[in-house]
Amino acid sequence: MPDTLAHPVRFGSNAGQPVTRRDGIAKVTGTATFTADNSPENLLHAVYVPATIARGRVTHLDVAAAEAHPGVTMVMTPGNRPALQGDPSAKPTMFSFRIEVLQDDSVRYAGQPIALVLGETLEAATEGARLLNPRYAAEPARTRIDDDEAAPVEPGGFGRPAGVEHGDVAAGHAAATKAIDVTYETSAQYHNAMETHAVVAQWEGDKLSLDVPSQALLMSCAGYAYFFGIPAENVTIRAPYLGGGFGSKAIPTGPQVLAILAAKETGRPVKLMLTRQQMFGPVGHRGATRQRLRLGIDDGAALTVIDHEGLAATSSFDDFVEPAANASQGLYAAGALRSAHRAVRLDVGTPGPMRAPGEASGSAALECAMDEMAEAAGIDPLEFRLRNYAETEPGTGKPYSSKALRECYMQGAERFGWSGRPLLPRQMKDENGLLTGWGMGTALFPCPMFAADARATLRSDGSALVETSAIDMGQGAWTALAQIAADSLGLPLDMVEFRAGHSSLPDGGVAGGSGHTATAGGALHAAGGDVIRQLGEIAAADPESPLHGAGNAAFSARDGRLYVDGDDSRSDSFADILARAGSAELVGNGSASRAPEDAEKFSMHSHGAVFAEVKVDPDLCQVRVTRMVGAFAAGRIINPKLAESQLLGGMIWGISFALHEEAKHDPRTGRIVNADFAGYHVPVNADVTGLEVLTVHEDDPYVNALGIKGVGEIGIVGSVGAIANAIWHATGHRIRRFPIRIEDLLTA
């Protein structure tokens, strides 16, 4: 394990503090302005008409009836849609999908846009949309994973995962003295952030101004610009507040492009906001999977093989394959490893990245399979994982940049009380006669980074302005990033003004992959460092400065003063340095690349362990998660309060995955029949009790300049398996389909 700092970074008094989020008061008092809160003058309201079948074509729209409505100003259909400059089947940015923008009358999934209606009011546009009364020539819909033939995935970047094989897999199977061969299924899950997708579009000549929730402002500018044949710099995006994203808001959607096109055609601002029901279609989702895992062990319970095959549902017209089998690639020290992916094309909207894509679905199956293998070996599930603990990355042999997973196991188990767990199932009941079970799961998540830029401006009064287009979709990024920026400048947090959420600012990169704080934070830290470097040069050359003559000495900054490193007797205030130089301000710029130069030498992941308790009614088979402890090692924690919030949120999503979320299709039409919060279940307060998060200290000198790994997604990973394993421990029944339902346990 590396034990020296390759990229040392000094932090001041701000990083590591549980600062209350800066945007919190605005959000809870209702003064925060989200996309759909914007209503420019002369506004038109847009409503898109979703297909109510999943496969076929539109044969009739009653356009005359809709246009006759007194408040309707325009009806856009495939027959009159203005031309787009860019091909809607092209993929202009790294995170792009083929979009549906009324190219023709074909229907490829339920919820696809088949028309757009503009009205002077939202009510008029809504009524006009209803008056279109579409008719169809429907074909049999394929919405189940067995409804078509599966095919291997052709790997190639975003959405098309590659399989991996290390060691002799056949020999690993042959060497096993005990083995399991199990199949797990996960259901489709749909994006349901509190804020639905929306856009407010305005044109001025060939310049486009958008209010739109976006997880990647500059990238989105390029995507929208492509469709309208204008330079990316002609597109301005404002996204000061996002009500959740989870991956879906990094990608332009068909309804949004249609609204922008309508604004261009009418010469008026246009607002479109998707209804909750319309979120079940064109904005991406977590595709359903079927995963086969074959594990083998030797007489010492050491894994001889992990063989993980994933089958994932994708759309009929594009490629995004849930990379579930990849969850087995980097966790346990098996003699041989194989992960493989296949896909089946269905009549659904294209899946996409959804919080912990691949890892959430894949670890649900892997962690249950590990539990089954431990049961076959007759040893405790935690002991089994420790026997197969990987000291280097399985398959590649790379050292870890840091790995405190063993500490996560130990601290989480101690806090939970795991040592009191009986080995056999159905051994514990509470005072009310409810069956009680304990389960665990391991969490693993990679540490990606995206390029980013930032600017820091030191003002004459010693305060600072820091700027980047980074966004905050609810994770508290703007607070944590301001803490990083303040430390880079050596200033108290209240002396730093933070500007973000606008595409005119330096590119803040992508808020995704749990890499946003490391990415944008790295750029901000570099920008602050550039200011301090310049300030030191000015002071060293100034005969009136106490720092005069310091020359090539390194400088440090704290509390608005500049010091020669290691010599606290010599210092000068920022304000005085600028005043003597006659400067009103000093501007520094910084960038962050994907990773340090030596990153390829190491395996870089966050790690964790989740322990869960469930109680099951023995007669009704109702399941309650009554207690969870998650212990996570994720490098440097910039803000413990925000990190804990993110990890708790991930664990709650684990409860949702394990017990609640499932999109159900009508086999006759292919429509999702529970496309609302009445039928699509997510946890509420009554479902969540006794959650606790432990953050395990970890110094990682190699993952990036700040030592940050990220906490946004790892909380889900491991939680799903922990809950399912606890249900087995309570009942003695293995349920290999998620979500686990009452009827599954009643018929087990």
Rounded distance between C-alpha atoms, residue 539 and residue 545, angstroms: 6
Residue range 400-432, pLDDT digits in tens: 999 999 999 999 999 999 999 999 999 999 999
Tell which of 559, 578, 593 closes a domain. Answer: 593
| CA-based nearest residue to 443, from 658, 703, 159, 720 | 720
Is the alpha carbon torsion for 320, 324, 325, 326 positive or negative?
Answer: positive
Q: How many domains does the chain have?
A: 2
Residue range 99-135, pLDDT digits in tens: 999 999 999 999 999 999 999 999 999 999 999 999 9
684 lies in some domain? yes
Note down the domain range covering 711.
358-448+600-746
Tell which of 593, 623, 643 closes a domain. Answer: 593
Let me know whether 413 and 488 are in one domain: no
683 lies in some domain? yes
Residue range 153-211, pLDDT digits in tens: 999 888 999 999 999 999 999 999 999 999 999 999 999 999 999 999 999 999 999 99
Let me know whether 366 and 475 are in one domain: no
Residue range 650-660, pLDDT digits in tens: 999 999 999 99
Let me know whether 631 and 556 are in one domain: no
CATH classification at residue 626: 3.30.365.10
How does the average pLDDT of the chain come out, rounded? 95
Expressed in angstroms, the distance from the first to the final Cα of the chain is 46
**What's the confidence (pLDDT) of residue 551?**
83
Let me know whether 588 and 604 are in one domain: no
> Could you give the residue numbers annotated as active site?
713
Residue range 364-405, pLDDT digits in tens: 999 999 999 999 999 999 999 999 999 999 999 999 999 999
pLDDT band with cut points at 50, 70 and 90 for residue 742? very high
Q: Is the pLDDT of residue 8 over 60?
A: no
pLDDT band with cut points at 50, 70 and 90 for residue 540? very high
Let me know whether 474 and 588 are in one domain: yes
| CA-based nearest residue to 665, from 192, 97, 285, 172 | 285
**What's the confidence (pLDDT) of residue 4?**
30
Q: 631-660 b/e with 16+ CB inside 10 Å = b? A: bbbbbbbbbeebbbbbbbbbbbbbbbbbbb
HEC letters along 494-531: HHEEEECCECCCCCCCCCCCCCHHHHHHHHHHHHHHHH
Tell me the residue length of the chain. Answer: 748
730 lies in some domain? yes
**What's the confidence (pLDDT) of residue 6?**
34
| CA-based nearest residue to 708, from 526, 491, 558, 514 | 514
Residue range 611-627, pLDDT digits in tens: 999 999 999 999 999 99
Q: Is the pLDDT of residue 5 over 70?
A: no
Let me know whether 460 and 553 are in one domain: yes
Question: Is the distance from CB of 244 to CB of 193 less than 8 angstroms?
Answer: yes
pTM of the model: 0.96
Let me know whether 582 and 610 are in one domain: no
> Based on the number of CB atoms within 10 Å of its own CB, is 65 exposed (0-12), middle (13-18) or buried (19 or more)?
middle
Residue range 246-288, pLDDT digits in tens: 999 988 999 999 999 999 999 999 999 999 999 999 999 999 9
Tell which of 567, 593, 619 closes a domain. Answer: 593
Residue range 711-739, pLDDT digits in tens: 999 999 999 999 999 999 999 999 999 99
725 lies in some domain? yes
